[in-house]
Chains A and B, each alone.
Chain A
Amino acid sequence: MRYIDEFRNKRLIKKIAEKIKSLAPMTTLNIMEVCGTHTQNFYRFGLDKLLPSNIKFISGPGCPVCVSPSNYIDSALQLAHNQNVIITTFGDMLRVPGRETSLEKIRSKTGNIRIVYSALDALIIAKQNPGKKVVFLAVGFETTAPTIAQTILLAEREKLKNLYFYSSLRLIPAAMEFLLKDKRLKISGFLCPGHVCAIIGTKPYEFIPKRYKIGCCVAGFEPLDILEGIYFLLRQIVGNKPRVQNQYSRIVTKGGNLRAQRIISRVFKIQDAYWRGLGKIRYSGLGIKREFSQFDAARHFSVSSQFSLSGRQRGVLSFQQKKCRCGEVLKGLITPDKCALFARGCHPDNPLGPCMVSSEGTCSAYYKYRR
């Protein structure tokens, strides 16, 4: 078993799609897939064509690149202009627009921005360049947080003095609670992100069925995983028994990866954070603890670790960026094609809003597979 092909089995996909069709009620259902990879794979594998048209899929705020505030990018740009600094980042971050430009656009000018696959690569670059300060743009959710925490611990053990982390790490359950408080949302069920749950387990979602009476199903990312997750959710909706179900049991347990959780809480503290399109959400971000402040880029370079748009900054936003409706897309209030900029000025080669940047962004997935 390789855990990929088996979950793309055509016969089983057809079978479960049939079962979903026979189970689906007549009324319109809105199911929110929180994770960007769900959104992308949903369209990539053409699953939307297999399901009844009255089941609507809404993409949630589950793309870390999309929710990083433009101030964060601006601060990273500011750091990139320092010739003594090497910026290391995941590939998706390069094209995220700040207020005026993006890392990709200044990359050829400054020559000190490098794409890495892992935070460990940043550690290696820091070792190879002892005369430079290496800054890693730590963006991601609970899945990525332990990898960064572990790298910080490794850097401490190796006594590295030239490696810094600029944290914009976010927590998913806090954002889901924020969404649930918005009365305009009409969500019948949540498809919860499998790899976030691999770390935190299924327990942190239990407040959703308890307090808001909305069902949740943790699902994997292969076509059969997604369809089975939808089937489980439908059964909850039809039976009116909301609870947290786990489709991705081969990876996700109730408690999650305890060691990873311990490492996260050793290195990071929970703090308020700004989400692009959503605003400030209480206790939804991770900042580096004081004990590890020697690795905190926000402290060392005195760039902001709190991001919000002041009135004056808002005025600087270009006319087009003001028209961007990524905030509503992230909340699932509109589909990307309702935005005036979608495919008219805003496309993956020249993204104006953050949802068009990353391949996991809702607008980008829509542009590629649905347009």
Chain B
Amino acid sequence: MIPASLWARPRSQILINKMCLAIPMKIKSIKAGFAVAEAGRFRRTINVQLLPSLKIGEFVIAHAGFAIQKIDPEKAKESLRIIDEIPLESNGRKGFF
């Protein structure tokens, strides 16, 4: 049931030492509740049972070996767009500090 690739896999010191870290990963393949996911050149098998309707090619946030939530590409673009478009509101106290 637990895929063999979980047994022998690259160990990253950064990932091991920071338990709260959750990183964006791209889903490469899915099989029986587990998926091979990629972040840059880093590849590992993660459990995807918390996200029932996951598809190959989608991005997830992975935390402690589990995909905990999907990333919505539209919303990501939107939040970047909002930053670009916020008008500069001045309260007349520029250079205060």
A residues contacting B by CB (< 8 A) are 1-4, 6-7, 9, 12, 15-16, 18-19, 21-26, 35-37, 52-54, 63-65, 90-93, 115-121, 123-124, 127, 139-140, 143-144, 146-147, 150, 154, 157-158, 195, 198-199, 224-225, 228, 231, 247-252, 257, 259-260, 263, 359-360
Contact = CB atoms under 8 A, between A and B. Distances in A.
B43 interface: no
Given A120-B6, A257-B69, A25 B83 contact: no
A19 B51 contact: no
A19 B97 CA distance: 14
Contacts of A54: 96-97
B84 A15 contact: yes
Interface of A is mostly: helix
18 contacts: A1-B76, A4-B24, A12-B80, A21-B94, A23-B91, A92-B17, A116-B16, A119-B65, A140-B20, A143-B22, A154-B1, A195-B63, A198-B61, A199-B69, A250-B75, A250-B76, A257-B68, A259-B52
Given A2-B40, A198-B68, 16 more contacts: A1-B59, A3-B24, A19-B88, A21-B94, A21-B97, A22-B90, A24-B91, A52-B96, A90-B16, A91-B18, A116-B16, A120-B2, A140-B64, A146-B50, A195-B68, A198-B61
Contacts of B76: 1, 3, 6, 250
A74 to B, nearest CB: 20
Contact of B19 (A16, A65, A259): A65
A34 B84 CA distance: 27
A231 B64 contact: no
B50 A228 contact: no
A251 B69 contact: yes
A260 B88 contact: no
Interface residues of B, number: 51
B5 to A, nearest CB: 11
Given A120-B2, A150-B49, A251-B71, A22 B64 contact: no
A144 B19 contact: yes
Interface in B46-82: 47, 49-52, 59, 61, 63-66, 68-73, 75-80, 82
Contact of B65 (A52, A63, A115, A117): A117
B97 A260 contact: no
A19 B68 contact: no
Closest 3 CB pairs of A and B: A118-B65, A90-B19, A3-B24
Contact of A16 (B11, B78, B86, B91): B86
B91 A195 contact: no
Given A4-B24, A52-B97, A195 B72 contact: no
